[in-house]
Amino acid sequence: MIELKNISKTYLMGASEVHALRNVSLRIAPGEFLAIMGPSGSGKSTMMHILGFLDRPDAGSYSFEGTALTGLSDDELAVIRNRLIGFVFQQFHLLPRMTVRENAELPLIYAGKRHLKKKAEEKITSVGLKERLNHHSNELSGGERQRVAIARALVNEPLIILADEPTGNLDSKNKDEIMAMLVGLNREGKTVILVTHEPDIAQYARRVIHMRDGEIVSDETGGQPLSAGASVSADTAIIELPLNKHNSKSPASIKELQGRFEVGKGKLNKDFLSKPARGIGGTEFLDYFRQAASAMVSHKMRSVLSILGILIGVAAVIAMLALGEGAKTAIRAQLAALGSNLLVVRPGSPKLSGIAMESGSMTRFTFQDVETIRRMTQDVRRVSPYVSGRGQVVYGSKNWNTQVEGVDVDYAPMRAAIPAAGRFLTEQEVKLREKVALLGTTVARELFGDTDPLGETIKINLVNFRIIGVLPEKGATSFRDQDDTVLVPVTTAMYRLLGKQYVDSIFVEARAPEMLEQLTESLEQLIIKQHRLRKEDEDSFQIRNMADIRNTLETTTKTMSMLLGAIAAISLLVGGIGIMNIMLVSVTERTREIGLRKAIGANNHDILTQFLIESILMSVLGGLGGIALGAGSALLITLIAGWSVKVSIFSVILATGFSIMVGVIFGLWPARQASRLDPIEALRYE
């Protein structure tokens, strides 16, 4: 069944070479019970690893049923190990976080036969551990652990059992029981290859090979070798192989197995080597997910620290973006007070803004200018003259110094000043210079407290005014409190309160945003013509575009939001690096586990997927926790600091997506490192 020809294997130990095998040739018949003996360093373990496809020889050939198996890929070798070989190790190599049942089921998972999990129970029952199905390995004795390892080796009905010092850690009673099991398996038709240094254990075998310094020094036969043509019939050696694309199962004898090879091409039949296709939403994913979750639970503190890094990062992203969105909303509310599509015509040169200038150095605007602009109906929607000054407001025993603004009827829709209570000015009140006023919320609160001010009479600079409305609350900026104001008719303010003959500015609303630039040019030409300005006096007035201020503020807010988001993303990045670090530690800690999984049939893709799912799972858990913490932090900021915050769906999706991306990116490298581990080096890792 197995033929080795001139097999050599050399290991590098630092700068020196160790010749583990030297031109070894060996034939093993079907159904044999073979023991390989020798002192430490003789090469017997290396021989077993090559026989079990865990290692590759440096030279020589390996033939199975007359077909050379050299040149197979790692994935193809993994399939062979899974379906033809059953390993029983000296150290048992049971996964401590799994139950007896789950340990025995592992080869079925990698064979795509998880649905046959009852077979694992049957094998456990056959080794006398039916009552221990749901126990963990730390609850078992040494003999019981080795029985579980044997059940795991048998679950896929392999042709060959490879036992590496299977009784090395057991007492005499358990030794006899384990060896009795191996003898029984051999009588059932299994080919058993035993590695041992104990002569009394080797006596159970019908054939004993002695090795020294990487060479076979003797080959002794204690009785007639078991073979397919002698003591074992073809019907006795039963294995399971996929026969067609539907993966139906049927018994096949050892001779039938020979038909599974492409003779002369040096490789197994593709139908045999290929694993059954399993969708990502099927049992394969569920098994990987279950194992990843189990690994996380078994290392709680390590997992919690990894999740915490992502959680803090996602929470920071959510909270920072919520602050940015809240700032945008607050600025939009304040910008609404500036009006939309608004131009402000003011006297004085923009170069000398805020500096007192001599008479004639600025253009004075009158109601005639207002009416002229109002007639530009194709471009202009609304116009309002505006004057302002300070005034002392008195009501009963209370008084307040505030800003007094004189406006026209169009001011309310232009500057978002529609009264929250009462009404706005009428054209008749402006024309007749009526003594009516609207109070900002700050003035109303200072003078009236919680009392309704509508209809009450106040004094502004010793002049009685009747209150007709209360303005909507606009909030305060770093420059002034926009609610600390009183609005009166512009004519009343000019001629009865402030003693002004000219308006301070003129608000002009364009019909559409795209008309602002054209309207600005038209207004400039109109004012130059209206006031007969000379060339050198053309800069004696200015026209300000409020949209520019709006765009500047919104751009600034957007930049600040991006900056806050970037700072938060850095913390998420740090969390991702933490996950990568933890996963690398996990790979190191679980190196022997990885070696075991590869020995029982896991390929590189299986290992990579499992570790990647574990990394993504931690990131997703951290992301979900971060969303809750971030939203809670945003709410807490609102309650404590009174800042405006707004948690958007976009920020939640962004943070969640980014956390998953972090799991993939930072988990991929550790997962690749795990998948590339050599099974032999991994099993030997201390």
In DSSP notation, 451-474 reads S--TT-EEEETTEEEEEEEEPPP-
Q: Assign 546 a pLDDT band (cuts: 50, 70, 90).
A: low
Query: What distance in Å separates the CA atoms of residue 367 and residue 378, rounded to the nearest whole number?
Result: 20
Average the pLDDT over 226-237 and give the result: 32
pLDDT above 90 for 458: yes
User: What's the DSSP call for residue 281?
Assistant: T
At 228, the pLDDT band (50, 70, 90 cuts) reads very low
Over residues 23-27, mean pLDDT: 90
Give the integer Cα–Cα distance in Å for 553 and 557: 6
pLDDT of residue 257: 42
Is residue 46 helix, strand or coil?
Answer: helix
Which 3 state secondary structure label does DSSP give 583?
helix
How far apart are the C-alpha atoms of 77 and 62, rounded to whole Å? Answer: 12
Please report, rounded to a whole number, the percentage of residues in the chain having pLDDT higher than 90.
19
pLDDT at 461: 92
- Other residues' Cβ atoms within 10 Å of the Cβ of residue 168: 17
CA atoms of 561 and 627, how far apart (whole Å): 18
CA angle 672, 677, 682 (to 5 degrees): 140
Question: How far, in Å, are 30, 525, 623, 628 from residue 631 at the CA level?
Answer: 67, 54, 12, 5
Give the CA dihedral 161, 254, 69, 209, nearest 10 degrees: 50
Q: How does pLDDT run across 39-93, given as a tens digit for each residue?
A: 888 888 888 888 888 888 888 888 887 777 777 788 888 888 888 888 888 788 8
Backbone angles phi, psi at 264, to 5 degrees: 90, -15
Residue 391 is which amino acid? G
- pLDDT reported for residue 280: 41
186 phi/psi in degrees, rounded to 5: -65, -40
Residue 429 reports pLDDT greater than 80: yes
Q: What pLDDT does residue 240 have?
A: 30
Helix (H, G, I), strand (E, B) or coil at 358: coil
Spatial separation of the C-alpha atoms in residues 255 and 686, rounded to whole Å:
41
One-character DSSP codes across 485-504: EEEEEHHHIIIIII--SSBS
Burial readout 318-347 (b: 16 or more C-beta within 10 A, e: otherwise): bbbbbbbbbbbebbeebbeebbbbbbbbbb
pLDDT for position 236: 29
Mean pLDDT of 148-171: 85
| Listed residue (662, 611, 439, 602) closest to 109, CA to CA | 602
- Say yes or no to pLDDT of 259 above 70: no
pLDDT of residue 447: 94
Q: Are the beta carbons of 670 and 583 closer than 8 angstroms?
A: yes
Band (231; pLDDT cuts 50, 70, 90): very low
Compute the distance between CA of residue 197 and CA of residue 48 in angstroms, rounded to an integer. Answer: 14
CA distance 393 to 531: 37
Q: What is the mean pLDDT of residues 347-355?
A: 59
Rg over CA atoms, the chain: 44
What residues contact 652, with CB distance under 8 A and at least 6 apart?
318, 627
d(CA 50, CA 342): 85
Q: Can you give the pLDDT at residue 535?
A: 74
**To which residue do tokens 């607050």 refer?**
330
522 and 401 in contact (C-beta within 8 Å)? no
Give the mean model confidence (pLDDT) for residues 298-321: 79
**Residue 546 neighbours by CB under 8 Å, 6+ apart:** 338, 339, 342, 343, 344
When mean pLDDT is compared over 215-219, 325-329, 479-483, the highest value belongs to 215-219
Written as six digits, the tokens of 575 are 């969390």
Question: How far apart are alpha carbons 528 and 538 in whole angstroms?
Answer: 7
Q: Is there a contact between 407 and 487 (Cβ–Cβ < 8 Å)?
A: yes
Band of residue 339 on the pLDDT scale cut at 50, 70, 90: low
Stronger pLDDT, 197 or 236, i.e. the higher one: 197
Distances in whole angstroms, Cα of residue 304 to Cα of each of 374, 534, 575: 69, 77, 12
Residue 439 has pLDDT above 90, yes or no: yes
Tell me the range of 502-506, 607-611, 665-669 where mean pLDDT is highest.
Answer: 502-506
- pLDDT reading at 415 higher than 80: yes
Residue 440: partners with Cβ closer than 8 Å, 6 or more residues away: 402, 470, 471, 481, 482, 483, 484, 485, 486
Dihedral sign (CA 439, 444, 447, 450): positive
| pLDDT score at 405 | 96
Does this model's pTM top 0.75? My answer is no
3-state DSSP assignment of residue 430 = helix
**What local confidence, expressed as pLDDT, does residue 271 receive?**
52
Q: Which residues pair with 2 in a beta bridge?
A: 28, 64
Token pair listed for 626:
């971060």
Place of tokens 């139906």: 248
Q: What is the mean pLDDT of the chain?
A: 79
Domains identified in the chain and CATH numbers: 2-277 (3.40.50.300), 291-333+552-684 (no CATH), 364-532 (no CATH)
Alpha carbon distance 285, 278 (integer Å)? 9
Residues 586, 265: contact at Cβ < 8 Å? no
CB 487 within 8 A of CB 417: yes
Distances (CA, A) of 452 to 439, 441, 456, 658: 11, 11, 9, 52
Quickly state the pLDDT bin for 548 (edges 50, 70, 90). Answer: low
What digits encode the pLDDT tens for the residues 365-397?
Answer: 999 999 999 999 888 999 999 999 999 999 999
Share of the chain above pLDDT 70, in %: 83
- The whole-number average pLDDT for the span 269-275 is 53
Q: pLDDT tens-digit profile of 248-258?
A: 333 333 343 44
Note the pLDDT of residue 357: 45
List, in order, residues 6 or more apart from 161 with CB less than 8 Å away: 86, 88, 153, 154, 182, 185, 190, 191, 192, 193
Contacts of 316 (CB under 8 A, 6+ apart): 567, 568, 571, 572, 626, 630
Contact 547, 516 (CB under 8 A): yes
In this model, does residue 278 exceed pLDDT 60?
no
